[in-house]
Amino acid sequence: MTATLTKATPTMAARTKVLQRQGAAVALVLMVAVSWLVFPRFGSLDNLRDLALQGSFLAVIAIGMTFVIITGGIDLSVGSVYALGGVLAAWGSQYGFLVALALPLVVCGLIGLINGLLIARTNMAPFIVTLASLLFARGLLLVITDEGANTYQIPADSAFVELGRGTVFGFGYPIFVAAVLAVLGGMVLNRTNFGQNVFATGGAEQSAVLLGVPVAKTKVLVYTMSGTLAGLAGALTAAYLQSGVTVIGVGLELDAIAVVVIGGTLLTGGMGTVLGTVIGVGLIKVIQNVINQIGTLDSNYQSVVSGVFLLIVVVLQRILRR
């Protein structure tokens, strides 16, 4: 029995791997191909540039979320932290480019660090800890903006605006930032000791401890990373919008989780890829874009379709793991 098991499982695993990793990619290619044919405007360079730019902010957050989820955790605070990062960047821009960029990274990184320390040292559930910091960050944001009445503007001639609005061949800088981070993230995950620790922590925490993996340190690092990246996404958004908009980012953490899972990362941890996450972002953004193209369709259908998609992926993961 065991002999047949050992023979059967590798092909099963291979199939699972292909479907999990390539499933989203296949869906993305199909979606793009169909949209290209059906909607003439979809394939226009302008639309594709816009699509990539829209996706880049979410991608930056989702890369951090990928690491967190692979360790078996979750970070609910990123939506609030993202908004906070934007406001801090806008406020800081009056003191120059460096402050505008560094302030959100440091503050949001600190929130992530505190998340990580609480989760790793006290063994509290990530869900609760990051739910608390979701409320905390949103509250802090409202305090410094006088309950949102005060929207900090970034001077149009500031160098910081360039970070959000500058382009190369028409493609916005944030796209390149996200791309570089994705490549770096993939490399860190698969080719560094820290990356292996991330997998081990989420795959079997008890074993990881016995194998000498610094589990606590790894957790602290992934949450710090997630917070910092959310702050960076916020800063990029502020630069792009030329102001620290206070009402953005509500529920964004759920979008981030959704794209990570659609990209094939196991919500239970131990398995996942950054590339999958990027594909997940692409898929969600293409769906949104197409629904906008239809025009007559209520834009709330975006959420309906995304939800159905997520459900399909999770059900597939469940079936394939048997």
Partner 1 sequence: MPTEIPSSPVIEVAGVTKTFAGVQALRDVDFTLQRGEIHALVGENGAGKSTLIKVLTGIHTPDAGRITRDGHISTIYQEVNLVPLMSVSANLFLGREPRNRFGLIDRARRDADAAELLRGYGITADVSSPLGTLAVGEQQMVALARAVAAEADVVIMDEPTSSLEPREVETLLGVVQKLHEEGIAIIYVSHRMDELYRICDTVTVLRDGVNVHSGPLKELPRIELVSLMLGRSVKEIENHGTTAFGEDHHADAEPVLEATGLTSKPRINGVSVAIRPGEVVGLAGLLGSGRTETAKAIIGALPIDGGTVLVAGTPVPRTVKAATRAGISMLAEDRKTEGIIPNLSVRENIVLAALPRLSRFGVTSRSKQDRIVDTFIKRLRIKVSSPEQKVAELSGGNQQKVLLARWLCTEPRILLLDEPTRGIDVGAKAEVQALIDELAREGLAVLLISSELDELLDGADRLVVLRDGSVAGELEGDQLTREHVLKAIAAEVTDDSDHASTH
299 lies in the site for partner 1, by CB under 8 A: no
- Contact region for partner 1 (CB under 8 A) — 4-12, 29-37, 169-177, 294-302? 4-12
Choose, by CB under 8 A, the member of 207, 294, 315, 319 that binds partner 1.
207
Nearer to partner 1, 44 or 190 (CB): 190
The residue count for binding partner 1 (CB under 8 A) is 32
212 lies in the site for partner 1, by CB under 8 A: yes
206 lies in the site for partner 1, by CB under 8 A: yes
Nearer to partner 1, 93 or 197 (CB): 197
**Token pair 């793009």 in the structure block, residue:** 32
In the complex, what is the shortest distance from the CB of residue 190 to partner 1, in angstroms, rounded to a whole number? 7
Choose, by CB under 8 A, the member of 191, 267, 307, 312 that binds partner 1.
191
In the complex, what is the shortest distance from the CB of residue 61 to partner 1, in angstroms, rounded to a whole number? 24
10 lies in the site for partner 1, by CB under 8 A: yes
In the complex, what is the shortest distance from the CB of residue 224 to partner 1, in angstroms, rounded to a whole number? 21
184 lies in the site for partner 1, by CB under 8 A: no
200 lies in the site for partner 1, by CB under 8 A: yes
238 lies in the site for partner 1, by CB under 8 A: no
Nearer to partner 1, 208 or 258 (CB): 208
In the complex, what is the shortest distance from the CB of residue 1 to partner 1, in angstroms, rounded to a whole number? 3
Q: Degrees (nearest 5) of the Cα angle 265, 269, 275?
A: 25
Cβ neighbours of residue 92 closer than 8 Å, sequence gap 6 or more:
99, 100, 101, 102, 103, 104
In the complex, what is the shortest distance from the CB of residue 191 to partner 1, in angstroms, rounded to a whole number? 4
Q: What residue ranges bind partner 1 (CB under 8 A)?
A: 1-3, 5-6, 9-10, 12-14, 187, 190-193, 195-196, 199-200, 202-204, 206-208, 210-213, 266, 270-271
